Structure 1
Amino acid sequence: MISINFIMLIALCGAISSAHPLEKRQDADSWRLYAYGDDINGLPIFYADGQAQLGDINLSNATNKFPVTISFGDSKTTWVAHPENTNTTTPAAFTTGGSVSPTNLLAIANTDSITSPVIFTTSNGTSGTDASAPSNTAGTSAPLTDVWTLYGNTVILNQTNADFYAQPTGKDGWYILLWGSTDQAAVGNTPVTVRTIAPASG
């Protein structure tokens, strides 16, 4: 005979599971990236002359800019960026480091700075940045590409104490995506979480 205590235990476990469901890991073939933070409510991340920028793409002063989708590369910690064609007559293509290519790898600049940009790089490690945008590339070494993890729908950077930041550009609604691993990285920048979930409409 099943005891009352056993039935209550099963009911309690079910209630806890319902209150705290496990977040499903990303399983789509490709996805977009969005940044969330203080007054940054799911701004889309896009390609801009080799940099990852976020917000209103029309505000960016980059020469070559377009939305991107992301997919897994050779491993689930290496991510490939694909252009979303917004112009039907001229298909979008990466021009990172002066090299035209149909895909790029998502990467982080490896610098000696407190913050460094999130960037796009070719398979041979050539990267590019928008010279007109705030610069964070002093002392640059080879970009790091094998650094990405998805925890549910949240992007985790596989670097010690690493976080993402949105650097203001002087134009409301347009930011540069940075990463850093010290508390000083937040000075003048807005901490953000990068996710694969678009903001709720309406």
Structure 2
Amino acid sequence: MLLTIVASLLLALGATAIPQDKRATVSEVNIYAYGTGISGLPVLTDSNGIAYVSTNAQSNLSEVTWTIASGGSVPWNVTTNSTNTSTTTTSMFYIVTTANAFSPVGFVSSNETAPTGAETVGFTTYGSDIMFISGSTLESQFWAMETGASGEWELMWNVNGTQQGDSVPVTLKTTAPTV
């Protein structure tokens, strides 16, 4: 009898110790980049699906809104709101994780082929920070590379996290900058 009670208590305690993972999907999210000289700029896209951050909405860049889920098991979808047309498109967020890659971050629609080595799943939030789950490690290797246009950077994934010319590490967040 005592053994049954002890076993029941251990099972009850063990069940409460299991971490509960919230995997809620959140829509209409905006994501912002923060880094040296980049103070909460929105992530935008060009017509080729490459991600940028910019101080002002260039005519060649469009705003995106995100649908994100924690846990990394489903793609993060983005809806592009083009300023040039009345159409919207939905694509999946990707990074390229091949060895030594310093590659553009972008968006690919379901009827397009993603770049070689691209990952469309594995993204999660840690607080308000955007992370990529690599095995059992959370990574944030986002970098912003100057494009030559004033106040515009191409968003990159830097597998090694090593210094790259004309670029700075950035943190992507769901938190908007304070005014």
* TM-score, normalising length: structure 1: 0.64
Aligned residues: 151
**Separation of aligned partners in 1, 2:161 and 2:126:** 23
Is the 8 Å Cα contact of residues 53 and 174 (structure 1) preserved in structure 2?
A: yes
Q: Say which SS state the counterpart of residue 158 (structure 1) adopts.
A: strand
User: Mapping of 1:120-135 within 5 angstroms?
Assistant: 120-127=107-114
Counterpart for residue 70 of structure 1: 66
**Separation of aligned partners in 1, 2:156 and 2:112:** 18
Is 1:182 matched with 2:160? yes
User: Mapping of 1:17-166 within 5 angstroms?
Assistant: 28-48=26-46, 49-56=48-55, 58-59=57-58, 62=60, 65-72=61-68, 76-77=71-72, 78-84=75-81, 86=83, 90-93=85-88, 102-127=89-114, 140-159=115-134, 161-166=139-144
Counterpart for residue 135 of structure 1: none
Which structure 2 residue ranges, 5 or more long, are not aligned? 1-22
Cα deviation code 1:34-58 (max 9, x no counterpart) = 0000111001101112101111454
Q: 1:166 to 1:45 in 2, by over 3 A?
A: same
Cα deviation code 1:90-137 (max 9, x no counterpart) = 3233xxxxxxxx31001113455541111111224524xxxxxxxxxx
Larger deviation, residues 31-40 vs 174-183:
174-183
Q: 1:170 to 1:86 in 2, by over 3 A?
A: closer
Identity between Structure 1 and Structure 2 (%): 31
**What is the letter of the counterpart of residue 39 of structure 1?**
G
Q: Which has the higher strand share?
A: 2
Q: Say which SS state the counterpart of residue 179 (structure 1) adopts.
A: strand
Counterpart for residue 172 of structure 1: 150
**What is the letter of the counterpart of residue 159 of structure 2?**
S
Is the 8 Å Cα contact of residues 115 and 185 (structure 1) preserved in structure 2?
A: no
**What is the letter of the counterpart of residue 51 of structure 1?**
I
Q: Say which SS state the counterpart of residue 54 (structure 1) adopts.
A: strand
Pairwise CA distance, 1:72:
3.1
